[in-house]
Amino acid sequence: MDHFDLLRGARLVGVLTGAGISTASGIPDYRGPDGVWTRSPSAVNAFTLANFMADAVVRKEFWRSYTGHAAWQAEPNAAHRALADLDRAGTAVRVLTQNVDGLHQRAGLAARKVLELHGTMHTTRCTRCPERLPTPEVLARGEEDPRCSRCGGILQLDVVLFGQTLDADVLGRARSIAAASEVFLAVGSSLQVEPAASLCAVAAQAGATVVIVNRDPTPYDETATLVLRGDIDVVVPELCAALAA
């Protein structure tokens, strides 16, 4: 039996995506051989809440990393488009993404079908008051350590930093989707960051066919029904074609 036969006929497909799905769009991952934190281990300090809030130098490094970030010019790749096409073809696709780049929505998947577990780089919020605004407006100021124009508070991208907890409502909805999925794909995630990674276990325990697509081994490989190591922008369209058959 073709191992893709396990996927055919699924009505609800949950998809956990990590940085690896966006590398083919020119966005570097974090932990890979050429990843952001592999090349510059100290850069992770800027993504830790306590450091970000306490040190202006850290905040400046953080904002510099996003000023010329590849995601601003990136386009969805074949993997993003295949998932959106699968949903349009009638299979219910729900994406639970660790990414903050917005490429799933750019590929045509409705925003309500994408749960951004770790937030989005496209909006910025004040850490002191309710102010929220488009990130490009903040970057256009050219300030190294931008502050809220309302209250003077520290501004932070609408992303979850290390030391911050995921939104409980978003995480709860993600777990419900994982548990309801007939097929659960984990694509381009190292599955090292919890609690997002544990969605694989939630899906498996609920009886889903779990497929992991990643370049490197993950802590959840033994949980999966199928583990694939090919190029994500090639493998995901093949998986989606099998699901649509």
Ordered alpha helix ranges (H), 55-146: 56-67, 78-88, 103-106, 135-140
Helix (H, G, I), strand (E, B) or coil at 25: helix
204 Cβ neighbours under 8 A, 6+ residues apart: 184, 210, 223, 224
Q: Tell me the residue type at 159.
A: V
Q: Is 118 a catalytic residue?
A: yes
Contact yes or no for 6/224 (Cβ under 8 A): no
């830790």: which residue's tokens?
48
Q: Which residue has the tokens 């800027």?
A: 46
Q: Dihedral (C-alpha) 14, 17, 22, 23: value to the nearest 10 degrees?
A: -130
C-alpha–C-alpha distance, residues 61 and 63, integer Å: 6
Q: Provide the sign of the torsion angle of the four alpha carbons 172, 208, 235, 91, taken in this order.
A: negative
Q: Are 154 and 53 in contact (CB under 8 A)?
A: yes
Give the β-pairing of 183-187 and 12-17: parallel
Query: Tokens 């300090």 appear where?
Result: 45
Active-site annotation holder among 80, 104, 118, 122? 118
Among all residues, which ones are annotated catalytic?
118
